[in-house]
Structure 1
Amino acid sequence: MNVIEQLKWRYATKKFDATKSISHEQLSILKEAFNLTALSYGLQTLKLVVIEDKVKREALVEHSYNQRQVVDASHLLILCIQNEIDNSDVDEHFENITAIRNTPESILEPFKNQLKSTIKTMPEAKKIDWATRQAYIALGNLMTVCALEKIDSCPMEGFNPEAYDKVLGLSEKGLKSVLLLPVGYRAEDDMFSTLKKVRKSIDATVIDL
């Protein structure tokens, strides 16, 4: 498979074919790809909410500036950050390291304490900004995997996160929605799917030193 050709094929899908669905295997790949995203310190403080139910998604259209992609796509992926990031997240991460790699705690302890100190002194606003940046990394990863799997997607910032959190009960789960990614298959009459991709030349965007 030519990766560059797949990235050229990818576009922000404006209209999905509501009659088509991605397979269970493809959805599993996207979940696994999300879980394998490279994140700061290795901490996984993001959650991916996956919604297939169209009735639930129909209730979200009005909170998405009436963008039909959220309901016409096969599935709606919602990237969420935790409302709280604290020592428990660090402890869980290092317990996972110990269990999987069998690394002695004596080796991990200095780094664990340093990370706890970093998070403890981080202002709440900076924590939210930091976590949100991680969500964008995950979004980019998911979009690339979608392209490789020939799954259409549409990254979306245009929605009301507070309304989403209320409708879906995300606040009760300690989560805050930050990004959307409807996934599925483009409609045949989506005029944007046939347009040439517009980008600057590589010489204009890449600097070789």
Structure 2
Amino acid sequence: MSFINAMQERYTTKVYDETKKIDPKHIEELKESLRLSPSSINSQPWKFTFVSDQDIKEKLSKVSWINTEKVTKSDTVVVFSRVDDLSLFEEQIKRELPQGMVDYYNENLKPLPKEQITSWFDKQVYLSVGVLLSACAVMGIDATPMEGIEPANYDKIIGNDGYATLVAVAIGYRDEEDFNQPSKNPKSRIALDKVVETI
């Protein structure tokens, strides 16, 4: 399947078939796809937690607002977190990045208030969300990005020390009767010439 076809077919899954499981090999490929996600100055201020344990998913479902059944019936929930402990991040970049990138952080970002730095981290994490959704589409895996969760409670449940949950993505396979799939609810997007400009 071409990338365009995959994007045409992907949609936000509303109902999962809990009897269909993702091949563990594909889970490993998704993990590697996330590891390869782009980020500004290769900062990688993130952690990705794959939750397939049903008991943990049940706990997460109770703090997932209208997403309860997506959490419990999907195969896996991927929790996207950003670094919340700046000292942890600074140790990481000293260990992992070239000095030029460390200097960029120290000169341009470190002097800012923590809220601005973590807001910059958030943007990097959201790049990785796009990578996961695209990888799932190419692999024929259904996905549901979910901001409708309680991040602080997610942190407690998964033991997210030094990190802060931003968003979660349920992944698995759609129920045949899911009302939101393109065959039942055609994809709606603004016309190309309204959103893309060529200069």
Residue matched to 1:180: 168
Deviation of the 1:12 alpha carbon = 0.3
C-alpha contact (below 8 Å) 1:43/1:93 kept by paired residues: no
The structure number with the bigger radius of gyration is 1
- 1:119 — aligned with what? 109
Q: CA deviation at 1:5?
A: 1.1
Residue 92, structure 1, aligned to residue 95, structure 2: yes
1:101 counterpart residue number: none
Residues 50, 76 of structure 1: 8 Å contact kept: yes
Cα gap change, 1:111 to 1:39, in 2 (>3 Å) = closer
Residue 113 of structure 1: how far off its partner (Å): 2.6
Aligned residues: 194
User: 1: distance between equivalents of 2:76 and 2:101?
Assistant: 39
* Equivalent-residue separation in structure 2 for 1:126 and 1:62 (angstroms): 31
CA distance in 2, matches of 1:69, 1:141: 20
Counterpart amino acid of residue 90 in structure 1? I
Query: 1:133 maps to which residue?
Result: 123
Q: TM-score, length-normalised on structure 2?
A: 0.92
Aligned CA-pair RMSD: 1.3
1:148-201 deviation per Cα after TM superposition (whole angstroms, max 9, x unaligned): 00000001100000111112221xx21111010110000011111121100111
Where 1:181 maps in the other structure, the secondary structure is: strand
Q: SS where residue 180 of structure 1 aligns?
A: strand
Secondary structure in structure 1 of the residue aligned to 2:50: strand
Change in CA separation of 1:187 and 1:88 when aligned onto 2, cut-off 3 Å: same
Pair 1:75 & 2:76 matched: yes
Which letter maps to 1:115?
Answer: Y
5+ residue gaps, structure 2? none
Three-state SS of the structure 1 residue aligned to 2:14 is coil
| TM-score using structure 1 length | 0.88
Match of 2:139 in 1: 149
1:66, CA displacement in angstroms? Answer: 4.1
